[in-house]
Structure 1
Amino acid sequence: MVRRAIERHVGTVTSATAVAGGQNNHLAAVVHGGVSGPVFVKAVRGISRPMRFLRNEITAGVLADGIAPAVVFSEEVDADDRWLIVGFEYLPGRPADLTPGSVDLAVVGRTLDRIGALPAPGIRGLHERWTVPDWWSRVRDAAPAVAAGWDVERMDRWAALAPAAVEGDRLVHTDLHADQFIIGTDGTVHVIDWSFPGAAGPWVDMAFMVIRLVDAGHSPAAAEAWAAERPSWTSNGDALTAFAAFVAGLWTYRAVTDGADGPWVQAARDYAAWRVGVAVG
């Protein structure tokens, strides 16, 4: 059924190569043999959060034209469970290198400036999603050892300021990391996996990237110095501190309750500690 739907749009499929890492999709593959050449296909089954995420990627293909992958086709198929099947332009390339001294850092910065200049009509504001003010208290309740050494009340006070700090009307990706950038051999850059877009201030994606730079080996000060060279950055230190406290609390809570852990979570805590001036013991 899914294959027939794909072939209605791209012609006869001769082969398909599965793509790893598509945990939000029931199908993620590069499809070969169609009249338009290779197409990257994602498909989800059933009305669900993953289906909404995939719809977000369709929207991003319009709002971030030339940055997000273009949508080749999309179709909903009603069967026992509804399927949403989307074909995106196939973008061969490599991920960005975010380590100190990488030549990719300038390309990443320019791409973030391009995204930060885009309006976000119809996209829910990040300030409307960030409604929990006490992630740090929740971390302490769920995993006291992880919260040890932190002034939890102080962190919650900063985090409570984050919704107002990030409010804005520019498009933000909110989940940027090295693998979300596809750098082609001709130097073109695309940003993929727009499952969680939002509307926010133009600096917000840059702030998320600062955390990823810390994860890649930059000091917090060096990561912010890199960001400060870009026009989409903000000089509002309180906004950055509120952002850092909120993200570190949210990511840490997810790590201790859902297992959504990784070195980026420690990087978020390191950045928050630096911004807030907390001595972690």
Structure 2
Amino acid sequence: MARLEWTDLPDGIRQRVEKVAGSPASGARTQPGGFSAGMASRMSFEDGRRLFVKAVHASSQGTFDLYEREVGILRTIPRELPAAHLVESFTQDDWTVLVIEDVEGRHPRKDAPSDTATVLDAIAALAAVPPPADLPSLADELAEDAESWRRLEAAGLLDETTPWCVEHLAFLRTHAERVDAAVAGDRLVHGDLRTDNILIDPSGRARLLDWPWAARGAGWEDALLYLLDLRVADAEADVDPFLAHPVFHGSTTEDHMSLLAAIGGNWFEKCRWPAPPGMTALRDFQRREAIASVAWIAQMSEG
């Protein structure tokens, strides 16, 4: 999907960003990845400063709402977190704009075990920091997902999942419905960690980006979903050794299958819906994640 460019923004918005930076813009490099058409650019300024700028118009309602939610979260997360922190945000003329620290780095390689270990270390550090008190609980956020397999069955949509799902419906439904217990906790959860939401900086530290889905949970959920992302990229990827990482301490295989069952069912439901405005790649992503989720559950249940 083509993102908005810096030059697509109205003059008044660009001038306001330059005021925040304290210097005129000298360059903008649009970042690939993600599902929205909002602007997401690494900006350089004449005084040498660099910032990351995200902007979207209210006409792209889904993305606009996510950016607004991310502002609220970035204003409250502790500065010591391995994140790219908010410099300033504003809403003007139906645009919402986030000005964020620019992080020099590279995305982790999905086929590099050392990068995966670095990411899991960052998630463990994240889970060790007390979350802002006003974040929603992940259990509440997943309450609708917990009932997804019942809805798919009631709507006669199981044939649009996979043959394994049809054969093991009761297993999937039971595990999805206990997801609230599986993810219960009071640790900070990012909620949307994929390789395109992570940068490894020159020091070798993983920095976590894009925070609209942050919540309170058990603390291992981001790590499991990151490993799922690796399996989406390569169905044969051997991620099971990483389940011994300390970030998973206290969780069980039953917990892992519960989370995968809940989100997998939800993705099977949503991938059939029309894409939100400005997010045309989302539904294909959700179906691929759903298929990978149940394939991993099948493997776990056989082990």
TM range (shorter): 0.7 to 0.9
Q: List aligned pairs for 1:215-254, cutoff 5 A.
A: 215-217=232-234, 222-254=238-270
TM-score (norm 2): 0.79
Distance 1:231 1:189 in 2: 15
* Match status 1:2 vs 2:13: yes
Distance 2:91 2:164 in 1: 51
Superposed, 1:55-66 pairs within 5 Å as: 55-58=68-71, 59-60=73-74, 62-65=76-79, 66=81
1:201-243 CA-to-partner distances (Å, cap 9, x unmatched) read 11111221231233344768x5243122224433433222211
Counterpart contact for 2:120–2:247, Cα < 8 Å: no
Contact kept, 8 Å, 2:235 with 2:292, in 1: the verdict is no
TM-score by length of 1: 0.85
Written as runs of structure 1 = structure 2, the 5 A alignment for 1:109-148 is 109-120=120-131, 121-132=133-144, 133-140=146-153, 141-142=156-157, 144-148=159-163
Identity percentage of aligned residues = 21
Q: Quick check: 2:42–2:52 contact (8 Å CA) kept in 1? A: yes
- SS of residue in 2 equivalent to 1:29: strand
Shift of 1:29: 1.9
Cα RMSD between the aligned structures? Answer: 2.7
The amino acid that maps onto 2:38 is H
Select the residue among 277, 284, 291 that pairs with 1:266. Answer: 291
Change over 3 Å in CA distance of 1:25–1:5 after alignment to 2: farther
Residue identity opposite 2:284 in structure 1:
D
How many Å apart are 1:26 and its aligned residue?
Answer: 3.1
Q: One-letter code of the match for 2:118?
A: V
Number of residue-to-residue matches in the alignment: 273
Are 1:196 and 2:210 counterparts?
no
Give the deviation of 1:49 after TM superposition.
Answer: 4.1
Is 2:112 the counterpart of 1:89? no
- Which blocks of at least 5 consecutive residues in structure 1 are unaligned? none
Deviations 1:96-147 (A, max 9, x none): 1232x53212211211101111222211111111122332244452351424
How far apart, in 1, do the equivalents of 2:68 and 2:38 lie? 14
CA contact (8 A) 2:182 2:259 kept: yes
Whole-angstrom CA distance in 2 between matches of 1:235 and 1:127:
15
Shift of 1:178: 1.7
User: Structure 2 CA distance, aligned partners of 1:235 and 1:18?
Assistant: 39
